[in-house]
Amino acid sequence: MDDLERRDEVRNICRGDVRQLARTLTEVENSPTESTRNLLKALYRKTGGSWVMGITGSPGAGKSTLVEALARHYRKAGEKVGIVAVDPTSPFSGGALLGDRVRMQNLFTDPGVFIRSMATRGRLGGLSSAVDDALLVLAAGGFKRLMVETVGVGQDEVDVVRTADVVLVLLVPGMGDDIQSIKAGIMEIGDIFVINKADRPDAMKTEREIRAVLSLAARDDGWDPPIVQTVATRGQGIDEVAEAVEAYRRFTDQEGAASRRRAFLCRQKVLEMIRDRMAQQVVDEIGPEELDRWAQRMANREVDPYTLVDRIFERSGLTK
């Protein structure tokens, strides 16, 4: 199939047609085919100028609430906002209290906001390529201010936000030891730290703890991650978060760091796509049952993984 056959879809997406966007996002999430790739190729040429904010933190930290408040902030400035929530507990995915949904309703009916939730299951190649493609579709739809919400646990989720243009790590007061234990995972990917639920006691203490952890390792790029306190439910501190985000954007643009970082991420992405596509090709070639049989033999220690991969490569014609 070539681009021509999907020309109407491309046009609809670029017009920001909500139903078309929803359909295409489902296709991208579940079963991207060669035809999907052709569509994405056509869309890629229509994108650019979009900017991705990754928001991560523990379940219940207030990520969705913050994302919602930020969405309102950017809407006031006339920006179109695209949101991808990778969070099983997200109100966006319908797992929320009724109150949350009622609160969200005017965002849902605003055509300038597109919210999509994504499950952590999914296609071969994993979550981050599914999210990347979803963001591409939204960008083509004119949603230039993009936000991705993920829980800050699990490598998949961390990988997803890692590729964002700016990473916001959300913490709540009174985490204490938690900050120590999560620091290995997400502390070093945070460009901005948000202490949400600052209406609770000990927000200042938490800020000092974060400061202490951050001071252990200076960043290569010289950026000193700001810490902002918010009460997302009341919209407090949201302007400050947005200001910190713009400051970081200016910083990375100025240093040329943004384009270096993009080039680095593009390299990662290409390698990842090669891996995915080769893996898919191999699975298609030898068949999933055969793969299962080999895996069982390996589990029985009848074959070592090196020999196994050699054989599979031979079988699928990948060895030169």
Binding residues (CB under 6 A) for ligand GDP: these are 57, 59-65, 87, 89-91, 196-197, 199, 231-233
Q: How far apart are CA 291 and CA 296, in angstroms?
A: 9
Nearer to ligand GDP, 47 or 196 (CB): 196
Q: How far is the CB of 61 from ligand GDP (least distance, A)?
A: 4
What is the rounded CA–CA span in Å between residue 64 and residue 59?
10
Nearer of residues 104 and 140 to ligand GDP, judged by Cβ: 104
**Which residues in this chain contact Mg ion in the complex, by CB under 5 A?**
63-64, 87, 90
Determine the residue with CB nearest Mg ion: 64
Per partner kind, with CB cut-offs from 5 to 8 A, the member of Mg ion, ligand GDP, none near residue 61 is ligand GDP
The nearest distance, CB 198 to ligand GDP, in angstroms, is: 7
Supply 50's token pair: 């979009």
Rounded to the nearest whole angstrom, what is the least distance from the CB of residue 259 to ligand GDP in the complex? 31
- For ligand GDP, the closer of residues 139 and 175 by Cβ is 175
CA distance 92 to 151: 14
| Distance, CA of 46 to CA of 62 (rounded, Å) | 33
- The span from the CA of 162 to the CA of 193, in Å, is 15
Q: Which is nearer to ligand GDP, 83 or 136 (CB)?
A: 83
CA–CA distances in Å: residue 112 to residues 45, 236, 262 = 22, 23, 26
- The distance of closest approach from Cβ of residue 117 to Mg ion in the complex, given in angstroms and rounded to an integer, is 9
- What's the min distance (Å) between Cβ of 96 and ligand GDP? 7
Question: What is the number of the residue whose Cβ is closest to ligand GDP?
Answer: 62
DSSP string, 65-94: HHHHHHHHHHHHTT--EEEEEE-TT-GGGT
